Structure 1
Amino acid sequence: MSTSICLIRHGETAWNAVRRLQGWQDIALNETGREQARALHSYLSSPAFQQSVDAVISSDLQRAWETAEIACQHWDITIERLPGLRERGFGKLEGQAWDAAGRHGPDQPDDTVDIDYAVEGGESLRQFQTRVLDCFETLSQTHAGKNLLVFAHGGVIDMVWRKLNQQALNAKRTHAILNTSLNFFNIDEDLNWTCTQWGQLPHLNTALDEQA
């Protein structure tokens, strides 16, 4: 029996737009992020989205759960908020520009990065991935055989992608993780992970076509 998970990144925030490290800072969506969430709602509530949804689960940071609330407003489902789905904690670097954070920023992985290094007040890559994977495996057991919609963060999606593709934590990632992208995978009762679809944005493509 497998648990099916659709993992969705939150909409854009003002800090995303200027590439500032957010981490555990509770930054709200900006208007672009809300528009993205509304476009996602249009897709999820349309016949184009054919998957049933048994539960909606979100990071407890407002950029994630606000995206979930907007996107899932057509369902009578209470959104469960879990701290285990938070973005990586960047400690004293939070609020700084990604470029200022250098090799410890979220888009700078390479084989020289120490996956056990944690900035003061933050998490190492290894600690972060352990938290994230433990959270998903617990969800797969508490919601065994169900279809879950999970709203989280770019770093969380990156950790899941590395697990599914057996990529090292300090391996270079060649693709972007876009706001409100949909990523589908399964976890079975023996905790085997399999990817089904990745990086889907049908709702934003549709919205752009409608505005053309």
Structure 2
Amino acid sequence: MKRICLVTHTQATHSVNGQVGGWFDSELTEQGRAQAASLREKIKAHGFELENLKVYSSDLKRAVQTTEALAAGQVLDVRYDTRLREMSFGRHEGMDQAAHDELMQPVSATGERLDHRICDGAESRREVAARIAAFVQEVMHLPGDALIVTHGFAATFVIAAFQQIDIESMGYIAFKVNPGSVSILEADDLFQNRAVCLLNG
């Protein structure tokens, strides 16, 4: 059986300051750092031992800091991967959230979802899904359990790719996960099913 512990970064400054996130490189707040440290026990409670996990993290500061805080001084072999970043919001990254909300186009006028960009320079769903699916495919071909630290919207595509949902079917998919959440994904050896055993824990 292969198990994946999927973690979303904890409270970050862009959320508190009312700024658009995406690739905007915000940091954890003090509360976020405390939340990240508490993830260690939450992960252990689900039967994971940090020292035995392959650890992967988004390279954005808020994810890196979450990974470092939950490691608590343990020397972990962490691979920082740009494919685990949140969706890029292009020119709107770091923008005042209220201004972004007025300018963005949440849905396409034609109803097209996979290639729609909600604002100037933003990634499409297809682009986010493709990079994350490529990452998940690599991880699934490696032995051992894994810890993945990513972002709220990006986590949806990690789960979908883990369950081998085709990208063409990801136009509407969304899993609601909160900052600092833990989700558990398991692939069994007998039936080779891929189960979401815990979502947003």
- Given that 2:176 and 2:200 are in contact with CA atoms closer than 8 Å, whether structure 1 keeps it comes out as no
TM-score where L is the length of structure 1? 0.75
SS of equivalent to 2:199: strand
User: In structure 1, what residue type is equivalent to 2:69?
Assistant: I
How much does 1:117 deviate? 2.3
Distance 1:172 1:152, change over 3 A: closer
How many residue pairs end up in the alignment?
Answer: 189
Instruction: Show the counterpart of 1:169.
Output: 170
Partner of 1:149: 147
Rounded to whole Å, the distance in 2 between the matches of 1:188 and 1:124 is: 32
1:32-77 CA deviation, whole Å, 9 max, x = no partner?
2112102112434x5x342243211111111001101101225331
Contact 2:20/2:94, CA 8 A, preserved across alignment? yes
Structure 1 gaps, min length 5? 202-212
**1:123–1:147 distance in 2 versus 1, CA, 3 Å:** same
CA contact (8 A) 2:187 2:195 kept: no
Alignment correspondent of 2:85: 86
Compute the RMSD of aligned alpha carbons. 2.9
Runs of 4 or more consecutive aligned structure 1 residues displaced over 6 Å after TM superposition: none
151-160 or 113-122, larger mean C-alpha shift = 113-122
CA distance in 2, matches of 1:197, 1:101: 38
Quote the residue 1:5 is aligned against: 4
Deviation of residue 193 (structure 1)?
6.8
Instruction: Determine what percentage of the aligned residue pairs are the same residue.
Output: 23
Aligned to 1:183: 183
Amino acid at match of 1:50: G
Q: Which range moves more in the overlay, 159-168 or 72-81?
A: 159-168
Tell me if structure 2 keeps the 8 A contact 1:116–1:126: yes
